[in-house]
Every structure is written in structure tokens, then in C-alpha cells.
Amino acid sequence: MDDGPNETSEPAGQLPDPSGRDAPSKRGLPPGLFIVATPIGNAGDITLRALEILRGVDAIACEDTRVSAKLLTIHDIPTRRLAYHDHNAERVRPLLLARLAAGERVALISDAGTPLVSDPGFKLVRAAVAAGLPVHVAPGASALLAALVLSGLPSDRFLFAGFLDSKSAARRRELGEIAGLKATLVFYESAQRLAASLSDMAEMLGDRPAAVARELTKFHEEVVRDSLSLLAARYRDMGPPKGEIVVVVGPPLERAPIGAAEIDALLVEVLGRASLRDAVAEVAARLDLPRREVYARALALSRGDDPEASA
């Protein structure tokens, strides 16, 4: 989201001229905030432009300076590092904005991948944009995109849903809200919650094809493809796997028309553990039906009406 070329500089992070006459170290970067993607595992997965930017800025804001130090050391980048994370963001953000307002160049990187994707960088970018400060991006590695293309599932339309809630009831509500979307779904998940989350996904989304990708671009990279129910059973039996995990779930399966008997059977099951309102919402999401239709079936059941007569 670049605010436009700087009046006295070339566009941000342009690759160097092979002759060396236009190298960024001589030309200099324009002022502003640089959102720079870093590798998600393999240290070689960083762009030439990203390396030039990280060498040319005045400071690098890191999610964890110790993690970033390893990457910067590999590429011999001595630029000063500053910690910027969830716990100090309110205090550090104004300091970074002041440096940007003074015309400095600050790069923002996360521990791995593209900043702002499930990390605290969003508020810094929003504040910089609100203040009229230039923001540039150097795109690169992203775990969600890597997992999506490896999954073998449709990639023409997808939703990145980040981390689901750690508690099953809330997680199921979140899944119910997106169950009807005709798109591939991408989630980040912890190893400890993986089996439980897959089980909730199978129940709330239906037994769709899915993939569990872990340790992407690393030596032990693995992608397991199966139905949600079988993946849930696999990780329940084997225990939590190691590494960073991305779950990719295919879009809703094509299904035959749903009859009143199927709606009523599911309503009876869900009403045994949920209120009428929550049961209607869950059944409507799971069966991809209008809430109005499911609510009418629920009222008929509560009155003891003959399902076929009220259908």
C-alpha cells in the first residue's frame, strides 16, 4: 500500500543495476515503513530486494530480535534491531511513528513469513497510513499460501481464518459462521489443539477433503491429505505432531437436496445440548440452509407437529 513515489528518490527497494551504478546502497531508499517478508523455514527463501532493504534501512522492527538475529547474521546484515511485539506495541509504536515522521526508513519483519498475517504489525501500518506516512512492501514467503498450493484443494477462492478459538464451544461457533462459504478455508493451528480442531471441523463443516501441512520449507516438511474425520483420527491416535501447522479445508461438498426428516433429526440432536437459537444457527450452518427454514422446522418440532404435514 505505497503512497506513491518519493519526489527525490527512486521507487522503494528497486533491484540493483548489475553494473552497480544504481545499487540501493548508493542510491538510498526513500523514507517510510517497509513491510518485508522473511522465510517461513528455509533461510534461502528471502528475496534479493528484501535483503537490500534490510541493509539499507535505519532500523528493523522485529517481533523477536533473537529470532531475527539468526536470519540477519546468515545474510551479514548489521542493521540495528528494535523489538516490536504484542507486549510492547502500545509503548513502542509511537516511537516508531516518530522516527518515520522524521524521515527515517524502518523495516518491519515478523519471526517468519509476511508481516501482518497473524502478528501485531497491522496496527503500526494503520497508524502510519493515518498519519500520512509512506508505506512500502517487499512481498515474499507466506505459510498460508505455501500450504494452499501444496494442499491440492481449489485455490481460486479461499478464506484465511487465522487461529480458531482455543475452546471447543467458541471454536464450533466460529466454524458455523463460515461453514456455508463456497471457498477453501485456511487455518493456523497449534499442535496440541490439532486433533480437537479437526474433529470440530468435521462436525461443523462436514467431512470435507483437507490437508495438514507442517514444517513447510524445512527438512521435515510434511503434507497429509485426507478427509477431516480421518485426519482427526490420525492425530488423535498419534498425538500432537511437531512444528508449525497450517490446516487447509476444501469448499462445501455438492450434496443432494436436504429433506425435512434430515433437518429434524439434526435439530433433535443439537437441541439436546443447545438453546433453540443456537441450535437453529448451528443446523443452518451445517446444512447450508436459510435460518428461517430451520427455525420453522424447530418450531414445528417444539409443538409436536407432524414433520411431513408442516414441510
39 and 129 inside one domain: yes
162 and 190 inside one domain: yes
Residue 90 lies in a domain: yes
Cell of 143: 505459510
Q: Range of 270's domain?
A: 260-302
Residue 16 lies in a domain: no
137 and 225 inside one domain: no
219 and 116 inside one domain: no
CB distance 195 to 231 below 8 Å? no
126 and 156 inside one domain: no
218 and 158 inside one domain: yes
Residue 310 lies in a domain: no
46 and 102 inside one domain: yes
Give the chain's domain count. Answer: 3
CATH number at residue 83: 3.40.1010.10
Q: Judging by DSSP bridges, how do beta strands 184-189 and 245-249 pair with one another?
A: antiparallel
Cell of 199: 474433529
Residue 3 lies in a domain: no
Q: Which of 83, 106, 141 is the C-terminal boundary of a domain?
A: 141
CATH number at residue 217: 3.30.950.10
66 and 106 inside one domain: yes
The H or E element containing residue 161 is strand 158-163
Residue 75 lies in a domain: yes
Q: Per-residue confidence of the chain (311 residues) as pLDDT tens digits?
A: 333 333 333 333 333 343 333 434 435 899 999 999 999 999 999 999 999 999 999 999 999 999 999 999 999 999 999 999 989 999 999 999 999 999 999 999 999 999 987 677 899 999 999 999 999 999 999 999 999 999 999 999 999 999 999 999 999 999 999 998 999 999 999 999 999 999 999 999 999 999 999 999 999 999 999 999 999 999 999 999 999 999 999 999 776 677 788 888 888 888 888 888 888 888 888 887 888 888 888 888 877 655 444 44
Tell me how far apart the alpha carbons of residues 245 and 189 are, in angstroms, rounded to a whole number.
6
Angle at 208 between CA 204 and CA 214, to 5 degrees: 100
